Amino acid sequence: MKIICIGRNYAEHAKEMKAETPTEPVFFMKPDTALLKEEEFYYPEFTKDLHHEIELVVKISKAGKHIEEQFAHKYYEEIGLGIDFTARDIQAKCKEKGLPWEKAKAFDNSAPIGKFVSKTKFDLNNISFELKLNGQSKQIGNSNQMIFSIDKIISHISKFVSLKVGDLIYTGTPEGVGPVKIGDHLEGFVNGENFLQLNIK
Ligand code: MG
């Protein structure tokens, strides 16, 4: 499986990163070794500025390529919640030099994932989600704020990269990204329900 992440899919987050609002979905990938299903995350030694990015995640349930937007809904059944951990200090250096972001984004365990729930439980255009850090709300988003919808993202990605069963798409983070430190406890919620828990060790 592979992990495809959308960048700058929320206007307010693009603004806080001083990035332009994209005119087509921006995507990058993490390898399968980035996936973390446990509740413990060990702070990596190569960064001093690790940031949380809470994101709705779509699990691909049917293989496809060149998927038209109007048929994209047939390619996923479940929605989950994940964190796109980002070594912001390393990413800033990569951006400065025009280098790829993998060092900052694709490292081991950089993609914690919580539980998945059938998409039929949601109004896909109105899914609220939240990240709490040590009990304090840090990021609040709603799928209605996405610049590119889930179906548009799937259609766009599949023009370039074939999608396979089990692939995960992290659909972008809303504003409020910020640092975590050892000892922190992160909790992710979808429509008020706990989907994800993580201890930073
Ligand atoms: Mg992200």
DSSP states along 48-71: S-EEE-EEEEEEE-S-BSS--GGG
Confidence of residue 14 (pLDDT cuts 50, 70, 90): confident
Distance 172 CA to ligand 1 centre (A): 5
Distance 168 CA to ligand 1 centre (A): 13
Is 50 within 8 Å of 44 (Cβ atoms)?
Answer: yes
Length of the chain as a residue count: 201
Distance 181 CA to ligand 1 centre (A): 18
pTM score of the predicted model: 0.97
Distance 53 CA to ligand 1 centre (A): 5
Note the pLDDT of residue 20: 87
Mean pLDDT (the chain) is: 97
Distance 129 CA to ligand 1 centre (A): 14
Distance 164 CA to ligand 1 centre (A): 21
Name the residue with higher pLDDT: 13 or 167: 167
Q: For 107-161, how does the pLDDT look when each residue is reduced to its tens digit (9 = 90+)?
A: 999 999 999 999 999 999 999 999 999 999 999 999 999 999 999 999 999 999 9
CATH number at residue 69: 3.90.850.10
For residues 76-97, average pLDDT: 97
Q: Which domain holds residue 141?
A: 3-200
Distance 76 CA to ligand 1 centre (A): 20
Taking CB atoms within 8 Å and a gap of at least 24, the contacts of 23-28 are 24/148, 24/156, 25/148, 25/152, 25/153, 25/156, 25/157, 27/153, 27/156, 27/157, 28/4, 28/100, 28/101, 28/102, 28/105, 28/106
Note the pLDDT of residue 73: 98
Count of domains for the chain:
1
Q: How far apart are CA 68 and CA 84, in angstroms?
A: 27
For residues 168-175, average pLDDT: 97
Is 54 within 8 Å of 173 (Cβ atoms)?
Answer: yes
Distance 64 CA to ligand 1 centre (A): 24
Element (H, E) at 93: helix 88-97
Distance 100 CA to ligand 1 centre (A): 15
Q: Does position 92 have pLDDT exceeding 90, yes or no?
A: yes
